[in-house]
Amino acid sequence: MSVRWIVVCWLLAAAPVSGQTFTAPRTAAASRDLTPAYTADARSGLRVTKGSGSLPNEHGQVWREYDISAYTARVKDSDKPQQAIVDWILRDTGTDVWFSEPLGILSANATTLRVYHTPQMQQTVRDVVERFVNTLDDPHALGIRLVTVGSPNWRARAVPLLKPIDVKSPGVEGWLLTRASAAMLFEELKARADVREHSAPRVEIVNGQSQTLARRQPLRYMRGVQPRSDGLGYELVPGQIEEGYSLEISPLLSLDGKTVDAAVKCQVDQVEKLVPIVLDIPVVGQGPRVQIQVPQLVSWRLVERFRWPTDQVLLLSCGVVANPAADAGGGLAAMNPFGASKSRADALLFVEYRGVAAAAELPAGARP
């Protein structure tokens, strides 16, 4: 058999049949691109593939990009102003819808919010984004006043002024008051001997951003012992607890300016006492017996969202809660907003929307 005959037979065998197209052989690199990828550690049995290369949309998901630069450009005191938009979307939609079926994507940078989800979810996202980009450029002003009352019996006289609202946090109650009723209630509270009025800042916040008010002071103590690094006996181990309170609030105005939403996060940490424990362990520089302390902590948390008309005042009662370092002397007791004479008090929080920050302030006596 001649060489020419062998070549002809090979070409006939390799030629495509009728109705088929001929494709060049894949390179090694191209073959690797289409081959499922597997974990390098065969012991785990984990299978990892590259998928189909396209986003699933069996639930009708669509891709949308929202221009948020008009909002982020006017936020000067935040490195990531777009995070506020993402946070408020998650408050409206919940987090589960982005981490379960149907597949959803939520991502933002300083100029663009990218969303992949169903048309219904896209409408919810759009409603939130419009509240950010279509509001006034000026920051908004909130009046925040914190008051503590030694006894919760102030409610007996205040019932006619209060309109209850639903609150999900255990032990917390909420009401709405007209501005006139809030001013009247505040004057009645000031007449009580067990009431302390604290700083009432006029907080300026860009719509949707967060503002934190906090007062904390470290409490140091000896929390335990440990072997010395040189092996010569033991040494005392110091500990520290940040005692005090923090209040974070994030307001978001509606498009028509008639209602305001506010995400409120409050945290109180108090060390009621340090329980002494005597250890029969010789410590370098100490005697054969040393004393450590175990903190007895009381903490309280509030994380909730509220909505109320802008012409009314939101009043929250946190219940009879812990007073951070209420019985301690020195710095924190003097600046402590929960009082320095009692370990418990009814903490009241007045929150009032006061319009754009550029507007003239009303006289101090005209607001609660």
Cβ contact 35:48 at 8 Å: no
Count CB atoms within 10 A of the CB of residue 34.
9
Cβ contact 37:51 at 8 Å: no
pTM of the model: 0.74
Domain segments of the chain as ranges: 62-133, 140-218+241-269+298-366
Residue-level pLDDT, tens digit, the chain, 368 residues? 444 444 334 444 444 433 433 333 344 444 444 444 555 556 677 888 888 889 999 999 999 999 999 999 989 888 999 999 999 999 999 999 999 999 999 999 999 999 999 999 999 999 999 999 987 667 888 888 888 888 899 999 999 999 999 999 888 999 999 999 999 999 999 999 988 876 666 888 889 999 888 888 899 999 999 999 888 889 999 999 998 888 899 999 999 989 999 999 988 888 888 999 999 988 887 878 899 999 998 888 889 999 999 999 999 998 887 654 344 443 334 334 444 444 678 888 999 998 876 654 544 444 44
Q: Which two tokens stand for residue 153?
A: 């019996």
- DSSP H or E stretch at residue 222: strand 211-227
H helix and E strand count, the chain: 8, 14
Fold annotation for 62-133: Ribosomal Protein S8; Chain: A, domain 1 (3.30.1370)
Separation of alpha carbons 80 and 208, rounded Å: 13
Separation of alpha carbons 361 and 143, rounded Å: 11
Separation of alpha carbons 247 and 191, rounded Å: 26
In a 3-state reduction of DSSP, which class is residue 297? Answer: strand
Backbone φ and ψ of 108, nearest 5°: -145, 145
Residues across the chain: 368
